[in-house]
Amino acid sequence: MTAVDARPETTTMLRFPAGFRWGTATAAYQIEGAAAEDGRTPSIWDTFSRTPGKVRNGDTGDIAADHYHRMREDVALLKRLGVTDYRFSVAWPRVQPTGRGPAVQKGLDFYRRLTDELLSAGIRPVATLYHWDLPQELEDAGGWPQRETAQRFGDYAGIMADALGDRVATWTTLNEPWCAAFLGYGNGVHAPGRTSANASLRAAHHFNLAHGWAAQLLHTVLPSTSEISLTLNLHAVRPHSPSAADIDAVRRIDAVGNRIFLDPVFHGRLPQDLVRDTSSVTDWSFVQDGDLEAISTPIDWLGINYYSPSVVAAGSSESPSPWAGAEEHVRFLPAPGPRTAMDWPVDADGLYELLTRLRDDLPGVPLVITENGAAYDDYANPSGEVNDPERVAYLQSHLTAVHRAIDAGADVRGYFLWSLLDNFEWAYGYSKRFGIVHVDFATQRRTFKDSARWYADVIARGGLTG
């Protein structure tokens, strides 16, 4: 009998650069609760979620994950994970209830306590100024389609810089302005629930302007070592076929989904093909002299939120559509592959494609993955454990894609997993779970899922096994 050598299986360790930022992310309305405490007034999401038929099961963020009262417990979870950074958002109506005038000190004190707790745990706070919770009073005055809202946002940014500038060194002006503009004002599936292509384009411009004015102010009042950023949910779009019509469908979606923000912010210009595509909707006269100069105020890095790619073909979309200027020319088709509980395709190659595109299109601009994750139908088993192998596989493939992009020359500085906690998932209410920490919403008990332990190991080792 001949013995067979038992050779150990070889694995490759994919190590990330020294100083790579490992974090998780949350949003105020999705986790805080305490919707009417300490001076907080309604945001557009409070109003929207209380409107019958807008949110699954009639869920609201009134309690959410009760983070407002359990903040120290949640920071302890972050410390247990070993993250270097934590990305949270400030609830505008908690600190400036009407969107005008002086701040509410109790609201500011909550964020002071949060940042102090993070710093004591050795975790860098990353503050997002806007994650969709516009004070309802500003929406009643016209909301983001009105230029004044961008002005009010600049004032609010000044309040927060004054309150937290000595504690927070990393600031993000806006989170996903595409969703806020086009899902909120275009097809109405997000707050405030309006359906107007014209309003969505006006809102998009005023989001850009709000970002630019806030960036100018923050650069002026914060220490020179502070970082200022913007987070976009850029779309990885592929044509259904190589036909000219399908390739033009990609161009249209890229214009209204990506370049509507990238071109003004980084090049100080409007995409002229977008202006042509939307000429039946608006003449863009709301863009005033000096706007594009303000919008293109330099920032320190660009945040990228990515979950899945899209496949498009020539055709038409259902009405109302969020895709202003493209709705009569583009239809979306199912992408191949496994799906998450959101029915989103799992495809890490889309993230690689996006990062390498930005490497080429925005040379010299550092990138950070500010959201990436997946919802699955998680539950605690009789032993109290939450096994989520699908999420671990999702994260493994997407972090591998980030590593590939870095090897290909993309300047990616960090990765923030979405999300720390199961939470209020916007129009889906509490029916979708993105967290790596399971939340029993009846008891508010927190439980590490297998994915949390996996991520903690990745952070501790500075990489993952390929």
Q: What is the CA radius of gyration of the chain?
A: 22
Q: Is residue 304 a contact partner of residue 367, using CB atoms and an 8 Å limit? A: yes
Q: Is residue 172 a contact partner of residue 231, using CB atoms and an 8 Å limit? A: yes
Q: Output the six-digit token pair for 277.
A: 């595509």
Q: Is the C-alpha dihedral spanning 141, 153, 289, 175 positive or negative?
A: negative
Closest to 85 in 3D by CA, of 160, 133, 26, 32: 26
Q: What contacts 391, CB < 8 A, 6 or more positions away? A: 373, 374, 376, 378, 436, 449, 450, 451
Say which of 176, 227, 327, 425 is annotated catalytic. 176
- Whole-angstrom Cα distance, residue 222 to residue 226? 6
Burial-class residue 391 by CB neighbours within 10 Å (0-12, 13-18, 19+): buried
Closest to 240 in 3D by CA, of 335, 323, 344, 311: 311
176 is catalytic: yes
328 is catalytic: no
Can you tell me which residue has the tokens 């496949």? 311
Q: Is the C-alpha dihedral spanning 27, 107, 121, 218 positive or negative?
A: positive
Q: Is residue 118 a contact partner of residue 78, using CB atoms and an 8 Å limit? A: yes
- Whole-angstrom Cα distance, residue 290 to residue 297? 11
Residues 417-437 as b/e (b if ≥16 CB within 10 A, e otherwise) read bbbbbbbbbbbbbbebbbbbb
- Whole-angstrom Cα distance, residue 55 to residue 32? 18
Say which of 139, 371, 390, 425 is annotated catalytic. 371
Q: Is the C-alpha dihedral spanning 227, 211, 99, 63 positive or negative?
A: negative
Q: Which amino acid is at 440?
A: D
Helix axes 450-461, 67-81, angle to 10 degrees: 50
Q: Cis ω on the peptide bond leading into residue 322 (within 30° of 0)?
A: no
Closest to 112 in 3D by CA, of 120, 421, 416: 120
Which sequence positions are flagged as catalytic?
Answer: 176, 371
